[in-house]
Amino acid sequence: SLSKGQNVDAEKRKKKRKKLKKLIQELPGCILFGWIFMSVALFLLMLIAYFRMQLSEGESQFSRQGIPFRKEIPAHQTTTF
């Protein structure tokens, strides 16, 4: 009980899915793996760079105020190996 417009849209979506499915089947697995791996790796590297900049910004703010950012750990809190 779909209207004519909805039926046409459904058919277009099915055609797009078939094209995408065919494309994915024809691509070698290493390309698909590389595509996913590279995108995730780049995202993680960008996160690391972002948090590194945030940390260095925090350290510089503390040093401008004369507050030591890293305090030395007391001897009784350290562990010997």
pLDDT in tens, 8-60: 788 888 898 888 888 778 878 788 788 889 999 999 999 999 999 888 877 67
Domain range for 47 is: 28-68
| Cβ-Cβ contacts under 8 Å for 63 (sequence gap 6 or more) | 69
Place 67 in a pLDDT band, splitting at 50, 70 and 90: low
Look at residue 42 and tell me if it is in a domain.
Answer: yes
pLDDT score for 31: 81
Distance separating alpha carbons of residues 76 and 81, to the nearest angstrom? 14
Look at residue 76 and tell me if it is in a domain.
Answer: no
Look at residue 1 and tell me if it is in a domain.
Answer: no
pLDDT score for 81: 61
Place 76 in a pLDDT band, splitting at 50, 70 and 90: low
pLDDT score for 49: 95
User: Could you give the number of structural domains in the chain?
Assistant: 1
Handedness of CA 51, 52, 57, 61 (dihedral sign): positive
